[in-house]
Amino acid sequence: MKQRTLVQNMLLVLAFVALAAASTPLLWSGDQELVLYNFAGVPDGAAPYDYGNLVFDSSGNLYGTTQTGGASSNGTIFQLVPGSPAWTENQLYSFTGGSDGASPYAGLVFDGAGNLYGTAGAGGSSTACGSGPGSGCGVVFELTPASGGGTETVIYSFTGGKDGSIPVAGLIFDASGNLYGTAASGGDASCVGEYNDPSGCGVVFELSPVAGGGWKQHVLHTFKGGKSDGASPTAALLLDASGNLYGVTTLGGASNAGVVFELTPTAKGPWKKKLVHSFTGGSGGRYFSHADHLIFDSAGNLYGTAEIGGNLNDCGGGGCGLVFELTPKSSGGWKERVLYEFTGTAGDGAYPEAGLVFDADNNLYGTTAGGGNGLGVVFELMSNSKGRWSETVLYAFAQGNDGCAPYAGLILGSSGSLYGATPFCGVDADGMIFELVP
């Protein structure tokens, strides 16, 4: 489940660390890891999940969120300023768990004026999803950076009804300044998804700026589950050049293993939904959780990861996860191709929880939460002239102080370095930000 509790995740990671400590760590000599910042917990941030990945500004500063920590243990928004060797953290905002939101799982996105936008999976003004600090149905927020911090404004607070609840994914902008995102629950109360507070299988929403100030929410699609629709969207959306939206769900479809969907705007009325692909589990993969977003290549093919699936003889019988490609067919529909299946062995990764990123040479990069030394890896996929892909492990997390179980994806810096986050381990076991230098 995407929103597994921090305690559940920490128990899993402790098991990984114990296994790694009992074995000889495997180190790859290709890339060097630099620890940019170690989170220290309250009042500092902790657990930088960053399902939307980190983001750079034009000055080379990094921005992201932590799911916990801060003055009230409800999460933070942070900035990292480059330094040598360590970077300096500025805590821009600490969530209180009230109407301002709580537990931001996803990354951030800039508008043209330099303001940051994101989601918090809890908090807000509604009590339909629970009351008290850290409860609520979630919010969409704007942060206006200022000297010494920033000013947060809630631009939408979910009610837990038809408008959705529990937004755990990041946001995207279109050219007109509208925001698009997903809520993992709420919507149709008769549909039971992964989150039952309240019931509902989630929605896709648009937030449009209103003349004179404020934002208006429009629900573009309400998920119904079953064989013909998805349920529980927990990943950010992807916008193509024609204005169509693409995304994934963790449930629903032919085998209730999740789907890839497309939403197309119409001249009047609701957007039109089309199933691009239904995951079947097994060698077809199951898009189960934690994968952040799909990406396009220059030819219009889609790429993504499945946390489990692949060879069912691996990773306890469920498969260790895979990387897939979806190619549009001239006759209509899409064709799935598995590019790589993880094995979970000491020389490979397991359980890719995040999306992928291309470099200028069309190589793919990503992370896995397990495999390697048991603490996860950073990997590269390269294709040859015949279209076959091969994997190289660039870095295997080794002893905990260098991080472990990276749930977040990567971003590529201008110098060719890769930047990412791990929600656990580090010096204070509260997560860290790293750079891999080629």
pLDDT attached to residue 84? 80
- pLDDT tens-digit map of 383-416: 998 889 999 999 999 877 899 999 889 999 988 9
Check pLDDT > 70 for residue 262. Answer: yes
131 pLDDT tier (thresholds 50, 70, 90): confident
Q: What is the model's pLDDT at position 177?
A: 96
Q: What proportion of the chain, given as a percentage, has pLDDT over 70?
A: 89
In a 10 Å sphere around its CB, with 0-12 CB exposed, 13-18 middle and 19+ buried, how is residue 428 labelled? middle
Cα→Cα distances 119→97, 232, 246, 299, 354, Å:
13, 16, 19, 31, 17
User: Which range is least confidently modeled, 1-10, 218-227, 282-291, 390-399?
Assistant: 1-10
At a CB cut-off of 8 Å and minimum separation 6, what does 390 contact? 340, 381, 382, 383, 384
Which pair of structure tokens corresponds to residue 27?
A: 């180190």
- Does 289 have pLDDT greater than 70? no
Q: 3-state DSSP call for residue 93?
A: strand
Percentage with pLDDT > 90 across the chain: 70
CB atoms near residue 197 (< 10 Å): 16
The 10s digit of each residue's pLDDT in 268-277 is 888 999 999 9
pLDDT of residue 331: 87
Residue 30: per-residue pLDDT: 56
pLDDT tens, 337-391? 999 999 998 889 999 989 999 999 999 999 999 999 999 999 999 999 888 999 9
What local confidence, expressed as pLDDT, does residue 309 receive? 84
User: Which has the closest alpha carbon to 193: 167, 138, 230?
Assistant: 230
Distances from the Cα of 183 to the Cα of 87, 178, 270, angstroms: 34, 16, 18
Confidence (pLDDT) at 10? 45
**Is residue 303 very low, low, confident or very high in pLDDT (cuts 50, 70, 90)?**
very high
Mean pLDDT for the chain overall:
88
Name the one residue in this structure whose structure tokens are 């404020």. Answer: 214
Residue 40 confidence (pLDDT) above 70: yes
- Residues 7-20 have a mean pLDDT of 45
Residue 62 pLDDT grade (very low, low, confident, very high; cuts 50, 70, 90): very high
Q: Is the dihedral of CA 76, 82, 88, 90 positive or negative?
A: negative
pLDDT band at 5 (very low <50, low <70, confident <90, very high): very low
Q: Give residue 9's region: left, alpha or beta (phi > 0; psi -120 to 50).
A: alpha
Distances from the Cα of 164 to the Cαs of 60, 126, 256, in angstroms?
35, 12, 21
Q: Which residues of 28-53 are buried (b: 16+ CB within 10 A; e: fewer)?
A: beebebbbbbbbbbeebbbbbbbbbb
- Tracing tokens 């994914």 back to the chain, one arrives at 169
Beta bridge partners of 185: 165
CA distance 148 to 168: 27
Least confident among 76-85, 130-139, 328-337: 130-139
| Residue (of 223, 116, 117, 101) closest to 162 by Cα position | 223
Residues 229, 187: Cα–Cα separation, whole Å: 14
Give the chain's end-to-end CA distance (angstroms, integer): 34
